């Protein structure tokens, strides 16, 4: 089983619909992140959470919200999906205990299409 699991893997939704992307991890890490990847733009940070009570906006948080339900679960919601939110979304985790800048572990991604 993957250490970082994202569901669903693929989703097509209509403009205006609310959609939730879920992420769960078995790494035992406190830190979790949501990124989106767009062609030519690389990976951009949407939200991040350093522990269950800590939620922070990333560089492109408008139109998104998150919920950290437990240490292992971090979900991303699109309140009212729009076509330019069509992208590949990645969840990631990292261990902020062994060092400040250790590697992140990524899920396999969710391909979201808004029509």
Partner 1 sequence: DQQVKQNSPSLSVQEGRISILNCDYTNSMFDYFLWYKKYPAEGPTFLISISSIKDKNEDGRFTVFLNKSAKHLSLHIVPSQPGDSAVYFCAASMGGYQKVTFGTGTKLQVIP
Question: Residue numbers of the site for partner 1 (CB under 8 A)?
Answer: 4, 31, 35, 40-45, 48, 56, 58, 90, 92, 94, 96, 100-109
* CA pair distance 107, 101, nearest whole angstrom: 19
Query: Closer to partner 1 at the Cβ: 17 or 98?
Result: 98
**In the complex, minimum distance from the CB of residue 80 to partner 1, in angstroms, rounded to a whole number:** 27
Query: Closer to partner 1 at the Cβ: 80 or 113?
Result: 113
**In the complex, minimum distance from the CB of residue 26 to partner 1, in angstroms, rounded to a whole number:** 15
Query: Closer to partner 1 at the Cβ: 26 or 80?
Result: 26
* CA pair distance 76, 91, nearest whole angstrom: 9
Query: Closer to partner 1 at the Cβ: 15 or 107?
Result: 107
**In the complex, minimum distance from the CB of residue 64 to partner 1, in angstroms, rounded to a whole number:** 16
User: Residue 30 in contact with residue 71, Cβ under 8 Å?
Assistant: yes
**In the complex, minimum distance from the CB of residue 70 to partner 1, in angstroms, rounded to a whole number:** 20
């Amino acid at each position: 089983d993957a250490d970082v699991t994202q569901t669903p893997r693929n989703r097509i939704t209509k403009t205006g619909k609310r959609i939730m992307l879920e992420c769960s991890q078995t790494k035992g890490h406190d830190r979790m992140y949501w990124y989106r990847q767009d062609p030519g733009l690389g990976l951009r940070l949407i939200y991040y959470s350093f522990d269950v009570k800590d939620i922070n906006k990333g560089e492109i948080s408008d139109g998104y919200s998150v919920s950290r339900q437990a240490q292992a679960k971090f979900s991303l919601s699109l309140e009212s999906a729009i076509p330019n939110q069509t992208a590949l979304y990645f969840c990631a985790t990292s261990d902020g205990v062994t060092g400040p800048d250790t590697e992140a572990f990524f899920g396999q991604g969710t391909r979201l299409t808004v029509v």
